[in-house]
Amino acid sequence: MLLLLFLSAARRTAEKSTFSRYLANVLLRRYNKVAYLETDVGQTEFTPPGLVSLTVIDKINSDLAIPCLKTPERRIPEERPTMFLSYVLSMYEDYVKDMFSSGIPLVINTCGWVKDSFYQVLDLKDASFQRDLHLMTYFRQCFPSYKTFLTYKELARALSVHPPYEVPISSAKIQHLHCQFPVKETFYSLNATIVGLADSASSKQFPQCVGLGIVRGLDTSKGVLLLLIPVPHSFLNGVDLLLQGFVQIPASLLQVQGCVSPYMSTHVLATY
């Protein structure tokens, strides 16, 4: 069987992601489904940033300027360069095993590193804006679809007062992907951060990440983590691992006019 693989590779700011989504639209006119392997973790198309993902697309997206979040077949957090390459290979192997025989074409969106080291970071203002836009769109899913927000400021205010999940600290495993913290500072380091929600039993080397959450705060007197989670409850079965990487919380969430941001309040943390 012929492998239909389309690789989008170019320098940064060359609109690779837009081209990849357009290419997927073109392929959907001929095929019922298209697989999309996302390796540009700084400016993702179908998931929040920070995740290598394999997504199956079955509908044409008519407006390429609007974020189009979907639930991928598999997603794992991007970490160090060597581990990053292992993740990408793992996703590709999943495609070959589960989708190739069905004749589903594959579009691979690359990360724009056409030379030098994998340590380069997408820090352009436009890319940063796109990341924040995807994250805000993602966390908008905390609310029912019929609830409208005219601006992202309204969404930020709604999130600041949205009831969080309470997760027992005793049942939570923490994995810092890029650095280590003293044991006494482990939970404090999570405050006001975005974490991956993973199932440690799915794979020791590549734990399955079902989505992202915002650590609203910690209450050590009650022994609970306070999390804002847009992931459906049914997806959370088996989640026992929080992955902390470098996905930054959008600044607009920290600047809610008229109230003290709950993510930065000192009152959310009880003393040890």
Q: What are 22-52's pLDDT values in tens digits?
A: 888 889 999 999 999 888 877 777 888 778 8
Per-residue b or e along 224-238, where b marks 16 or more CB atoms closer than 10 Å to that residue's CB = bbbbbbbbeeeebee
pLDDT at 75: 59
Mean pLDDT (whole number) for 4-29? 72
Q: What are 204-214's pLDDT values in tens digits?
A: 777 888 889 99
Please say whether the beta carbons of 212 and 197 come within 8 A. yes
Which of 58, 71, 3 is CA-nearest to residue 29?
A: 58
Sheet with 74-77: list strands edge to edge.
5-8, 106-109, 34-38, 51-57, 74-77
| pLDDT higher than 90, residue 72 | no
Structure tokens at 191: 């405050």
What's the pTM? Answer: 0.59
Q: At what angle do helices 125-139 and 152-160 cross, to 10 degrees?
A: 50
DSSP-derived pairing of the beta strands 34-38 and 106-109? parallel
- Name the burial class of residue 268, with classes exposed (0-12), middle (13-18) and buried (19+) by CB atoms within 10 angstroms of its CB: middle
pLDDT: which is higher, 151 or 201: 201
- Comparing 107-116, 123-132, 176-185, 196-205, which segment has the lowest mean pLDDT? 123-132
